[in-house]
Amino acid sequence: MAELFLELFSEEIPARMQARAAADLARLMTEALSGLSPANVRTWYGPRRIAFAAEVAAQVAAVSSSERGPRISAPEQALMGFLRKHNAAKDQVRPEGDYWVLEKKAAAVAAPALVAAAVPGVLRKMPWPKSMRWGGTSGFTWVRPLRRIVCLIDGAVVPFDLRDGADDGHGLASGDLTEGHRFHAPGAFAVSGAADWLSKLRDRRVLADVAERKDAIAKGLAAIAAAKGIAIVEDAGLVDEVAGLVEWPVPLAGRISDEHMDLPPEVMQVSMRVNQRYFATRAPDGKAAPWFVFAANVEATDGGAAIVAGNERVLRARFSDARHFWDLDRKAPLEGRVPALEQVTYHAKLGTQGARVIRLRRLAETIAPMVGAGAALADRASELAKADLVTGMVGEFPELQGTMGRYYALHDNEDAYVADAIRDHYAPRGPADPVPAAPVSIAVALADKLDQLACFFAIDERPTGAGDPYALRRAALGVIRIVRENGLRLNLLPLLDTAVAAARSAAGQTDKPATRPIPGTDRHLDILAFDILDFLAERLRVQMRGEGARHDILTAVFAAGADDDIVRLLARAASVASLLGQDDGANLLAAYRRAANILRIEERKDGPHTDAPDPALLEEPAEKALFAALDASAAIERLVAAENYAAAMAEMAKLRAPLDIFFEKTTVNAELSNIRRNRLRLLNQVRTTMDRVADFSRIEG
- pLDDT higher than 70, residue 132: yes
Interval 9-15 mean pLDDT = 97
Tens digit of pLDDT for each residue in 401-436? 999 999 999 999 999 999 999 999 999 998 889 999
- State the average pLDDT over residues 527-556: 90
Instruction: Please say if the pLDDT value at position 538 is more than 80.
Output: yes
Q: Please, which residues have CB within 8 angstroms of residue 215's CB and are 6 or more apart in sequence?
A: none
**Mean pLDDT value across the chain:** 92
Cβ contact 221:279 at 8 Å: yes
pTM exceeding 0.85: no
| Cα 94 from chain centroid (whole Å) | 56
**Contact (Cβ atoms closer than 8 angstroms) between residue 476 and residue 542:** no
Q: DSSP character for 158?
A: -
In this predicted structure, the answer to whether residue 471 has a pLDDT above a threshold of 70 is yes
Between residues 637 and 256, the one the model is more confident about: 256
Question: Greater confidence, 223 or 465?
Answer: 223
In Å, how far are 464, 476, 491, 529, 563 from 533, measured between CA atoms?
17, 9, 11, 6, 9
Task: Report the Cα–Cα distance between both ends of the chain, in Å, rounded.
Answer: 43
| In the chain, % of residues over pLDDT 90 | 68
Q: What is the pLDDT of residue 701?
A: 67
pLDDT confidence tier of residue 171, bands split at 50, 70 and 90: confident
Name the helix (H) or strand (E) containing 664: helix 656-665
Exposure string of 145-171, with b = 16+ CB inside 10 Å and e = fewer, is ebbbbbbbbeeebbebebbeeeebbbe
Instruction: Give the C-alpha separation, 26 to 211, whole Å.
Output: 18
| pLDDT tens by residue, 31-52 | 999 888 999 999 999 999 999 9
User: Which backbone phi and psi does 3 adopt, to 5 degrees?
Assistant: -90, 125
Which DSSP string corresponds to 474-493?
HHHHHHHHHHHHHT----HH
Cβ atoms of 600 and 658 closer than 8 Å: no
11 three-class SS: coil
Q: Among 87-91, 112-116, 571-575, which is the least confidently predicted range? A: 87-91
Q: What is the pLDDT of residues 475-489, one digit of tens each?
A: 999 999 999 999 999
Reported as a single tens digit per residue, the pLDDT across 281-313 is 999 999 999 999 999 999 999 999 999 999 999
**Which residues does residue 63 pair with via DSSP β-bridges, in sequence order?**
106
Give 110 or 27, the one with higher predicted confidence.
27
326 or 464, which is more confident:
326
pLDDT of 349 reads 96
Question: Residue 272: CB partners within 8 Å, gap ≥ 6?
Answer: 278, 279, 280, 292, 315, 318
Calculate mean pLDDT across residues 222-242. 95
What integer pLDDT is reported at residue 527 of this predicted model? 95
pLDDT at residue 631 in the model? 82
